[in-house]
Chain A
Amino acid sequence: MQKYSIFSLIKNAFSNHQNWDVVWKDPVPKKEYEAIIIGGGGHGLATAYYLAKEHKITNVAILEKGWIGGGNVGRNTTILRSNYMWDANGLFYEYGMKLWENLSQELNYNVMYSPRGIINLAHSDAQLNTYARRGNSMRLNGIDAVMLGREELKKMIPFADFSATARFPIFGALMQPRGGTARHDAVAWGYARQADSMGVDIIQHCEVTGFDIQNGKINGVQTSRGNIKTKKVGLCVAGSTSLLAEKLNMKLPIESHVLQACVSEPVKPFLNHVVTFGAGHFYCSQSDKGEMVMGGDLDGYNSYAQRGNLPTLQHVLSEGVAMFPNLSRLKILRTWGGIMDMSMDGSPVIDKSHIEGLYLNFGWCYGGFKATPVSGWTFAHTIAQDKPHKLNEKFKLERFNTGNLLDEKGVGTKTWIG
């Protein structure tokens, strides 16, 4: 594989950049693989990469119905953080933050990791107290967290509404300084390029239509491009998980919902951090191009349509205007939607299933993007070793049956009620 560097850039400039190697190949599916990952999104690509790199399993295929990086990994608001309170979540996502910090070097691909800090605004004393509690829990787990006062915030985010008439006055905030953003497409492409170079077959436009199961064991998958044999199958299909589960006669604790995001027209830099509104559900950051990247609530009903409706967008953006009044003068450039696999306790599942050789990875709710490296890392371990890693042993499917829920925020699929 061609290494990307300043030297390869200069060298290729002499031939007008016409001679770069293809970044990943377009292979014909083989008859058999050691493992198959269904879904060529961020999590699937990362899983294949770590299977090859950490576990030396390179005879792997990624089967993607559309094209890689065309789903949620290209539709999110690119936020990275590990500001969780429960140990299971905090330690898991913090391991992910450590992977993010070195990801550009590791993949030899600039994922534009930007630890600009994520600020959760508080609008009451009670909210500040709960943030302090969460911040303390984070620090006990070795995660960076600082409390910010109103005066500090005035210097950091001067355009927020600090007026005496603000409907939701800003009392303070919890900040994770190492939180930030990364370029989501680059994450998908970087993982794909490295996985491909280690021998993983990335097979696009290949839909899985059924499973070959004998005596409770996976034997292979049926696809739109023929049958493929394998002993291990990993599901990484986010919002479409229930569709594959139906083919396996399984019902899962998720609902698929549409979540919208949008960007404004580009403007000069005025926001250096990721900021979330504490009195509702709104978050924004400014992209390197100058666009305000904004998101918030789900549309609020089961949906597989990758587009939402205007009432939700209006609701979300009105929260944005309450936080940053000057947003009201911006025009919206683009809006889009992605299908979230909303789990019933707000936490994911990375686990084995009752079928031998079938592994599950779903339930990422709003937060799948930041988990991309650690989800892939732990899922690869789960598949290769046939047992969960310590980091994901709490993300069991059976927790819904046993009652050991990971209800970080006490909300499930109906977050608009909570």
Chain B
Amino acid sequence: MLEIKCPHCGKRSQNEFSYGGDASIKRPELNKEISDKEWDDFVYLRKNLRGNHAELWHHIAGCRQWFKVLRNTATHEIFRTAKIDEKL
């Protein structure tokens, strides 16, 4: 069982959360010419790191806020969590 500290609600069991993937992915900017390559990068390509991974989680059965988590993908250890607009 993962215990995830929601930055708004505190420590809760993983059952309350849903996963949102790599937090380093940036959507191409609006109102700009966007190449297929940039869309490919954004939609499909991932670093898929082994080790510390900044990722998004959603407290879906709680406060329903998205937030950031720094977690090790090899050990599942969670180091830090942060609000969505904060630095991790």
Contact = CB atoms under 8 A, between A and B. Distances in A.
A304 B50 contact: yes
Which of B22, B41, B76 has the largest count of A CB atoms less than 10 A from its CB? Answer: B76
A303 interface: yes
Contacts of B76: 303, 305, 309
B46 A311 contact: no
Contact of A253 (B13, B45, B50, B55): B45
B74 A305 contact: yes
B59 to A, nearest CB: 14
Contact of B55 (A301, A310, A344, A401): A301
B65 to A, nearest CB: 18
B14 to A, nearest CB: 6
Contact of B19 (A246, A300, A309, A344): A300
A309 B2 contact: yes
A305 B73 contact: yes
B47 A251 contact: yes
A302 interface: yes
A208 B49 CA distance: 17
Contacts of A304: 50, 73-74
A256 B49 CA distance: 9
A305 B75 contact: yes
A305 B75 CA distance: 6
A242 B47 CA distance: 7
Contacts of A416: 18
B47 A303 contact: no
A123 interface: no
A253 B46 contact: yes
A414 B74 CA distance: 19
Nearest to B53: A302
Contact of A311 (B15, B48, B50, B53): B15
A414 B45 CA distance: 14
A255 B46 contact: yes
Interface string A382-418: 0000000000000000001110000000000110110
Contact of A242 (B14, B41, B48): B48
Contacts of B50: 240, 242-243, 256, 304
Contacts of A300: 18-19
A251 B73 contact: no
Given A302-B21, A302-B73, A401-B36, A251 B13 contact: no
Given A251-B45, A309-B1, A311-B1, A301 B19 contact: yes
Contacts of B36: 401-402
B14 A311 contact: yes
Contact of A310 (B1, B40, B47, B75): B1
A190 to B, nearest CB: 31
Contacts of A240: 50
Given A301-B19, A401-B37, A254 B48 contact: yes
B43 interface: yes
Contact of A302 (B1, B2, B45, B48): B48
Contacts of A309: 1-2, 14, 76
B49 to A, nearest CB: 8
B1 A344 contact: no
A252 interface: yes
11 contacts: A242-B49, A251-B46, A251-B47, A302-B48, A305-B76, A309-B2, A309-B14, A311-B15, A344-B44, A414-B19, A414-B21
Q: 7 smallest A-B Cβ distances: which pairs?
A: A242-B48, A253-B44, A251-B45, A400-B44, A304-B50, A301-B19, A401-B40
Interface of A: 240, 242-243, 246, 251-256, 300-305, 309-311, 344, 400-402, 413-414, 416-417
Given A253-B45, A254-B46, A311-B14, 12 more contacts: A242-B47, A243-B50, A251-B47, A253-B44, A256-B50, A302-B55, A304-B74, A309-B2, A309-B14, A311-B13, A400-B43, A414-B21
